[in-house]
């Protein structure tokens, strides 16, 4: 039985690779594992069938031979532990890569998601501009700390890891905000990751889903 | 060399066990590992010495025999992998426990922290009440989904795990908000976890740090 993941039938990001299935696609491409995709409408995501897989009714999920996982971070960790290519073999380096995975999802992502969410649900409110400035500053502090850590390095630690994969998908959520522009270290870091063949295959695959949906013909790609 | 963690010299939570060192203390108590604590002022946390351990200048960190970790999630995972007591041995159950760790930190915690942060930095703003209602609703949706998943179960999956440990520390951040009261499943879940001897030892230890600081006598407890 192949790996099956879930993704949006109609991604709200319009194929920009910002939905969280992109992380899982990219990781599977990095380790060279084929997978199938089950596309879900927003209504289907909230049905009991899907909630049995994902209690919070979200995507992505991951199924393989009786194993069913949810949360992109846990799925990436499982893939990185099961196949070579995303995690150093050396104990301390492996533990540091995992520190960066959690840093991406628990330290960097929350203020970045909050900023997008504010734009989504508060942009007609009288307080929007003042709050957006506060949120921008929170994000900027974190970006400065991350750039300070990286210095001249290519990746967060020794060699590309699952920590980089998650961090780059988080930073990409700032596309269009202009916030990354003040940190050339970080724009170069994101570009370096996006140039990886595995990233490009994953990006093309998620974009194809969106393009087919636009053409009124969504279906599960064979991959 | 024993395990050394870092914690606030003067915790902003005033000893209520909401700072993130509580998670690490609790995990170490669950697996029966002694540890030392290095207390840091807010100024010390932002110095280069500490940033070399934690690029974002936060607590907790974890050091043991040349291994240095940051991010409470990564530290808990490392402890759970190194000692029995926080993770099922069975592969699929272990992977599910890790799903719950990420769910606690990446799905449940962000809206809960955002709500506290709003209270902290926006409570004098004219928009505070309207936003707080929005944030309460975001948290309530997640709590309902979590309660729906749990049903009559004692823990998130089979037996107490690192996933429960993180989830309970996240839910405890709602203390005083009244939001948990609508979900008796969840108040019982938190109480069940707080009744664990390991939790109580960890709580007492972090409270003692606060009490000593109040008495003008902070020092690193021997433990």
Write down the domain spans for chain A: 3-85+198-214, 91-196
pLDDT for B191-223, tens place per residue?
Answer: 999 999 999 999 999 999 999 988 886 655 444
- Global pTM exceeds 0.90: yes
Q: At what angle do helices A162-171 and A109-122 cross, to 10 degrees?
A: 30
- The count of other CB atoms within 10 Å of the CB of residue B86 is 24
C-alpha distance across the termini of chain B, in Å: 14
Please tell me the predicted confidence (pLDDT) of residue B66.
Answer: 85
How many Å apart are CA B122 and CA B128, to the nearest integer? Answer: 6
Residue of A67, A91, A108, A110 to mutate for B, most B C-beta atoms under 10 A: A110
Please tell me the predicted confidence (pLDDT) of residue B223.
Answer: 42
Span B40-49, mean pLDDT? 96
Can you list the residues of chain A whose pLDDT is less than 50? 221-223
Q: Which of A180, A56, A200 is nearest to A112 (CA)?
A: A180
pLDDT tier for residue B144 given thresholds of 50, 70 and 90: very high
A and B: number of Cβ contacts within 8 A:
120
CATH topology of domain B91-196: Glutathione S-transferase Yfyf (Class Pi); Chain A, domain 2 (1.20.1050)
Residues of chain B with pLDDT > 70: what percent?
A: 96
Please tell me the predicted confidence (pLDDT) of residue A66.
Answer: 85
Please tell me the predicted confidence (pLDDT) of residue A223.
Answer: 42
Chain B residues touching residue A98 (CB < 8 angstroms): 74, 77-78
Select from A74, A126, A142 the Cβ nearest to the Cβ of B102.
A74
Q: Which residues contact A89 (CB under 8 A, 6 or more apart)?
A: none
Q: Strand order of the sheet with strand B3-8? A: B35-40, B3-8, B61-64, B67-70
Chain B nearest CA to A211, separation (Å) = 29
- Res. B139: pLDDT tops 70: yes
Please tell me the predicted confidence (pLDDT) of residue B219.
Answer: 56
CB contact under 8 A, A109 and B110: yes
Q: Which residues contact B165 (CB under 8 A, 6 or more apart)?
A: B23, B26, B27, B30, B76, B86, B193
Select from A69, A99, A149 the Cβ nearest to the Cβ of B71.
A99
Could you give the maximum distance between any two Cα atoms of chain B, in Å? 53
Chain B nearest CA to A113, separation (Å) = 9
pLDDT for B60-110, tens place per residue?
Answer: 999 999 899 999 999 999 999 999 999 998 889 999 999 999 999 999 999
| Rg of chain A (C-alpha set) | 18
Q: Give the helix/strand (H/E) hosting A113.
A: helix A109-122
CB contact under 8 A, B55 and A149: yes
> In sequence order, what DSSP letters do the residues of A119-166 get, joined into one string?
HHHHTTSTTHHHHHHHHHHHHHHHHHHHHHHHTT-SSSSSS--HHHHH
Select from B56, B102, B149 the Cβ nearest to the Cβ of A73.
B102
- Res. B1: pLDDT tops 80: no
CATH topology of domain B3-85+198-214: Glutaredoxin (3.40.30)
């Amino acid at each position: 039985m192949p790996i099956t993941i879930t993704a949006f039938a109609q991604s709200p990001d319009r194929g920009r690779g910002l939905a969280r299935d992109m992380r899982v696609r990219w990781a599977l491409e990095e380790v060279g594992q084929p997978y199938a995709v089950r596309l879900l409408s927003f209504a289907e995501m909230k049905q009991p069938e899907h909630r049995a897989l994902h209690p919070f009714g979200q995507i992505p999920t991951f199924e393989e031979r009786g194993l069913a996982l949810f949360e992109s971070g846990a799925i990436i960790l499982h893939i990185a532990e099961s196949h070579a290519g995303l995690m150093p073999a050396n104990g301390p380096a492996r533990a540091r890569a995992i520190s960066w995975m959690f840093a991406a999802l628990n330290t960097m992502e929350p203020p970045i998601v909050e900023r997008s969410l504010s734009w989504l649900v508060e942009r007609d409110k009288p307080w929007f501009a003042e709050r957006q400035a506060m949120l921008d500053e929170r994000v900027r502090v974190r970006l400065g700390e991350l750039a300070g850590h990286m210095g001249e390095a290519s990746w967060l630690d020794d060699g590309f890891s699952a920590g980089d994969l998650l961090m780059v998908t988080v930073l990409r959520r700032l596309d269009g905000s202009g916030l990354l522009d003040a940190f050339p270290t970080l724009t170069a870091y994101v570009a370096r990751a996006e140039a990886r063949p595995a990233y490009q295959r994953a990006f093309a695959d998620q974009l194809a889903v969106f393009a087919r949906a636009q053409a009124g013909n969504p279906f599960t790609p064979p991959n």
